Amino acid sequence: MNKIKIGLFGFGVVGQGIFQVLSKSRNAHAEIVKICVRSNKPRSIDASYFTTDPEVILSNPEIDLIVEVRRPPTKSSRRPSRKASPSFRATRPCWPATCPS
């Protein structure tokens, strides 16, 4: 069985956790192939995983799944409130049997 190739947006606590779980799991049928971050600072894994250009992930035909685990950019350094940022809303999954057509 081929592994699902994942493009990851964000490498904070959650992004690093996802990377560690997938890289350490023997039974994972998925692998992270590229990670989009906001800046090129030193990271705990090989720099070849990282890009600051979202198009590298979005236009890559080999990537099967895109996962976003980052906060939206803000003008202030404070964490945005849910009211202040419409893109920071929680979403619920839509399973095939319940998705609107």
E strands, 1-101, where?
4-9, 30-36, 50-51, 65-68
pLDDT tens string 28-86:
899 999 999 998 888 889 999 999 999 999 999 999 999 998 766 666 555 545 454 44
Per-residue pLDDT at 70: 72
Beta bridge partners of 6: 32, 65
pLDDT of residue 94 exceeding 50:
no
User: % helix / strand / coil in the chain, to the nearest 5?
Assistant: 25, 20, 60
91 compared with 25, residue with greater pLDDT = 25
pTM above 0.85, yes or no: no
Region of residue 10 (phi > 0: left; psi between -120 and 50: alpha; otherwise: beta): left
Per-residue pLDDT at 79: 53
Looking at residue 2, the DSSP 8-state letter turns out to be P
